[in-house]
Structure 1
Amino acid sequence: MSLSAPIYVLKRKAKQLSRASNIPLHDALDRIAVQEGFTRWSLLAAHAASVTTAAKLFARLTAGDLLLIGARPGQGKTLLSLQLAVEAMQAGRRSAYFTLEYGEREVASRFNALGVTSEAYRDLFTLDCSDAISADHIILRLMDAAAGTLVVVDYLQILDQDRAKPPLAAQVQALRTFARERGLLLVFVSQIDRSFDPDVKPCPDVGDVRLPNPLDLSLFSKTCFLHGDTVCFT
């Protein structure tokens, strides 16, 4: 879904609408968003951020990388991970998406929000919504994956839900070793703790990642945190 104008122009239009109609700016922003095909401004902003950020992120990823994408709900972390998959497929690489959070219809809807039809990349995209998702399951499914394949796990904490599976730290370590051996790019979408306060700092960081059980976050070679229009990449 393409915007009719750059986001800074749409913000300017919202400010003008706010003054002309004597309505709060957030209401004006939502009205502009509806005109652009989104139900609210936060979704429009997440869409715009995912497209521009994904291109920059993808250019900085190298074989064997583990990227952690963290944000509070509604800030665009899932859209960004899917846009990274699109970037990979546009480069002729395969992508795989492992999720217990969404079904096929929801993933297709998010592709549509990015202006992409999942059918366009049918031969390059694999979606796995199995209840058995774990490090062992992912590794088994990717045994024949070519180097350069981009793999998304949505989300990190979901690997920790089944107590019959190995601890989260062991699973991430296994996936890290596998990615480096096979030259894959692994992207983990992560929840952020509710204690994160945007009035204290503009963007979450590794200290805000929600971890019910211990995990050495240095296992991730790169991180990207989102909040509103702010993107923090290391």
Structure 2
Amino acid sequence: MNKHINMPFALDYETAVLGALLLETKAMALTSQYLRPEMFYEERHGMIYSAIECMFNEGRSIDIITVTEELRRRGELEKVGGPYVIVQISSEVVSSAHLETHALTLKDYFIRRELIKGLSKSLAKATDITVYTEDVVCETQELLDGIGKDAAWQKTAREMDVLMDDTIKLAAQRREESENGVTGIPTGLDELDKLTAGWQNGDLAIIAARPAVGKTMVTLHLAKEAAKAGFNALFCSIEMQGERLGDRLILLESNVNPHCWRSGLTPPNEWIEAQSTAKELAKLPITIDDNPSMSMDYIRAEARLLKSKGKCDIIFIDYLQLTEMRTGEKMLRNREQEVAIATRKAKLLAKELNCPVILLSQLNRDSENRPGKRPQLSDLRESGAIEQDADLVFLLYRPALVGITTDKESGYPTEGLGMMIAAKHRNGETGTVYFSHNKSMTKIENYVPPMEWLIKNSK
């Protein structure tokens, strides 16, 4: 740390706060919202505040005598200067009239000191070429996040009349903005919109499946439809190169033969269609990042930047288990802990930016040992934290892949049938969303049963 930087502090404010706490029993209820013992610059002031805080939490009486006795019990009375100091502090204050102002000032000085110390450490690490640059950035981001929580001046507690007023205002906004029951970002699948009312701000939705079931294609379809509805989408692809996603988006939106496109044998008429489709897709408000070593901190930093520019309404992450799990200079020993932290960060990102986050995840092999291989919520890999933090969990299932010709629940033929099983829905009903797809999984649409099935079942 630069020794020439002067640390901001105000000892007279510290004694004013402590004096008010010693004089008025109700004063601690106010300062406890803002202050902690470590926020006092003078160490002995922090000790006195810690003793008062402990007594307050235990419901004990607070005055000069009881606080002196508590410090003696802790073995800290002489460290703070003895009983004389306690009496002296209390004698310097007449009332607690400006207690809140004094407390906020102390909090402000503490935050400034923490910034100076933390950023000085970051500066030192930034000049050390043996430290990973990403680690320096992540640690600095964590520092600012922690300080940011302390710097939140607004009160979050609301009385019931205020809460009910805010609730009705939000409901009125939903009512005004609702289009055919969709109050969030449309998904492009009617049954999914009916189940969720669209992707909702602040929600973390998990889409999970076994490999090769079609997670990426389904999610690209969802991102494309959100963008076509005018919402800015950020698509973070850790597994797949951006150009490969571009290929799939062109195939989603055109009638180009997938095999010919991938083999370079696209006929002239389809080539013209592909070029035209690419020009239309280029107009969509989608940002694609294919950095193969993305962490949740990296994604958060990019999303915040785009949000500040008004270019981030929904975030898609493909996929959870591939995100960089290195945390600082040490690796967590337990994989489940790593996934838990990443999932929690995804949920906090949704809340912080007030936008939906759609996070893809792998399923474990348990479903493959089950008749029909139908996935269940417990099949989520490292499932504890994923299931806990998610507002919605969709399990992707294509019964035709496992040799099933007729879906047992709906009776639908399984050729071209895809299912998004809503295994968890914190704010609504669970159920199954059916969609149709072609053999190459490059076309995804609302499901309509075949005419033969409709005729057969109409009798």
Partner of 2:223, secondary structure, is helix
CA contact (8 A) 2:238 2:292 kept: yes
Go from structure 1 to structure 2 and tell me whether the alpha carbon gap of 1:230 and 1:174 turns closer, same or farther (over 3 Å shift). closer
Residues of 2 paired with 1:118 and 1:209: CA distance? 36
The counterpart of 1:88, out of the listed 226, 243, 246, is 226
**One-letter identity of the residue aligned with 1:203:** R
**Root-mean-square deviation (Å):** 2.9
Partner of 1:189, secondary structure, is strand
Go from structure 1 to structure 2 and tell me whether the alpha carbon gap of 1:51 and 1:60 turns closer, same or farther (over 3 Å shift). closer
Residues of 2 paired with 1:136 and 1:84: CA distance? 24
Q: Deviations over 1:76-133 (max 9, x none)?
A: 2111111110121111001111112100221012212311645524451111111331
Go from structure 1 to structure 2 and tell me whether the alpha carbon gap of 1:222 and 1:141 turns closer, same or farther (over 3 Å shift). same
Does residue 70 in structure 1 map to residue 70 in structure 2?
Answer: no
- In the alignment, which residue of structure 1 is the partner of 2:421? 232
Does residue 178 in structure 1 map to residue 316 in structure 2?
Answer: no
Q: How far off is 1:227 after superposition?
A: 1.4
Residues of 2 paired with 1:165 and 1:111: CA distance? 36
Q: How far off is 1:135 after superposition?
A: 1.0
- In the alignment, which residue of structure 2 is the partner of 1:191? 362
CA contact (8 A) 1:54 1:84 kept: no
The counterpart of 1:138, out of the listed 280, 293, 299, is 299
CA contact (8 A) 1:64 1:186 kept: yes
Residues of 1 paired with 2:244 and 2:189: CA distance? 19
Q: How far off is 1:172 after superposition?
A: 2.0
The counterpart of 1:149, out of the listed 283, 302, 313, is 313
Partner of 2:236, secondary structure, is strand
Partner of 1:195, secondary structure, is helix
Partner of 1:215, secondary structure, is helix
Structure 2, unmatched stretches of 5+, are 1-187, 255-276, 333-337, 399-417, 425-459
TM-score of the superposed pair, with normalisation by structure 1: 0.67
Go from structure 1 to structure 2 and tell me whether the alpha carbon gap of 1:76 and 1:196 turns closer, same or farther (over 3 Å shift). same
TM-score of the superposed pair, with normalisation by structure 2: 0.36
- In the alignment, which residue of structure 2 is the partner of 1:129? 290
Residues of 1 paired with 2:360 and 2:367: CA distance? 17
Structure 1, unmatched stretches of 5+, are 1-49
The aligned length equals: 184
Q: Identify the range of structure 1 (71-80 vs 111-120) with the bigger mean alpha-carbon deviation.
A: 111-120
1:1-234 equivalences under 5 Å are 59-115=197-253, 117=277, 119=279, 120-122=281-283, 124-143=285-304, 144-145=306-307, 146=310, 149-159=313-323, 162=326, 167-197=338-368, 199-200=370-371, 203-211=374-382, 215-228=385-398, 229-233=418-422, 234=424
Go from structure 1 to structure 2 and tell me whether the alpha carbon gap of 1:66 and 1:201 turns closer, same or farther (over 3 Å shift). farther
Residues of 1 paired with 2:278 and 2:357: CA distance? 20
CA contact (8 A) 1:102 1:129 kept: yes
CA contact (8 A) 2:208 2:396 kept: yes
Go from structure 1 to structure 2 and tell me whether the alpha carbon gap of 1:56 and 1:74 turns closer, same or farther (over 3 Å shift). farther
Residues of 1 paired with 2:278 and 2:331: CA distance? 31
Q: Which has the higher contact order (CA 8 A, sep 6+)?
A: 1
Residues of 2 paired with 1:176 and 1:103: CA distance? 25
Q: Identify the range of structure 1 (88-97 vs 167-176) with the bigger mean alpha-carbon deviation.
A: 167-176
Residues of 2 paired with 1:84 and 1:138: CA distance? 19
Partner of 1:196, secondary structure, is helix
